[in-house]
Amino acid sequence: MDAALLVWERIVARQARPHDGVALATAVVAVALVAVRPSWTLTRHSVTIVHEGAHGFVAMLSGRRLAGIRLHSDSSGVTVSKGRPTGPGMVATTAAGYVGPALLGLGCAWLLSQRHAVAVLWLLLVALALLFAQIRNVFGFLVVLATGVALFVVSWRLDVDAQVTAAYVVTWFLLLAAPRPVLELQVMRRRGRARGSDADQLGRLTPLPALAWVGVFLGATVGALFVGAGLLLV
């Protein structure tokens, strides 16, 4: 009981905003995590977790039944939900994946602007715990577990200044990473290697062609990056 109360007090507490140097330095770290190929090979799994989690979350919100999520070693994933194969629910579920990391990053940026850095870490940890119950393969279990353990260590063991810094790195990473899979998607589409992609599925489900959906994804992720950056730097 005392531990639960302590966690709650940490979640609702406000932390001092870091000076501009910290906000900029964490942005540079996040850029490296996204732009440097060896690091991106590892960190992209985090983007996939959020991507598939967004599919699953919207599927349940729209009344579909979530059947499970699989995460693969090549950083791809698949979310299976049951319900009508067409209609608004299916469209929303399919569209949620690529914009999920950007919207999550934007939400985290807003929390940071309200000085709730520790809340960012704990809310992400809770989301991972809920997602863990939906994973249906061994690699997915390991990836989500490793990510959750890392977040728990940061949230429970580090001092407040380190937690604030970590929350900024995670938020910048989500915002900066979100557009890259969209660009990679279009490269794969041009090579004819992504005919079953979210954009192509949406092209079949809606009047908009697949390329237009790629544009929607890119516009949403870049827009979230600019708005989120404004929240983090102001």
Please provide the size of the chain in residues. Answer: 234
How far is residue 185's CA from residue 175's CA, in Å, rounded to a whole number? 17
Query: Which residue type is seen at 184?
Result: E
Q: Where are the domains of the chain?
A: 2-233
Band the pLDDT of 192: cuts 50, 70, 90: confident
Question: What is the predicted pLDDT for the residue at 1?
Answer: 61
For residue 112, give the 3-state DSSP assignment: helix
- Between 41 and 1, name the one with better pLDDT: 41
Kindly state the helix (H) or strand (E) to which residue 108 belongs, with its residue range.
helix 88-113
The residues with which 79 forms a beta bridge, in sequence order, are 69
Cα atoms in the Cβ-side hemisphere of radius 13 Å centred on 174: 26
- The 10 Å Cβ neighbour count of residue 229 is 18
Distance CA 132, CA 52 (A): 12
Q: How far apart are CA 125 and CA 164, in angstroms?
A: 15
pLDDT tens, 127-175?
A: 999 999 999 999 999 999 999 999 999 999 999 999 999 999 999 999 9
Q: Over range 175-191, report the average pLDDT.
A: 97
* Helix (H) or strand (E) segment spanning residue 65: strand 65-71
What are the residues facing 82 on neighbouring strands?
Answer: 65
Rounded to an integer, the average pLDDT of 12-29 is 93
User: Residue 201 pLDDT more than 70?
Assistant: yes
Mean pLDDT computed over 110-137: 97
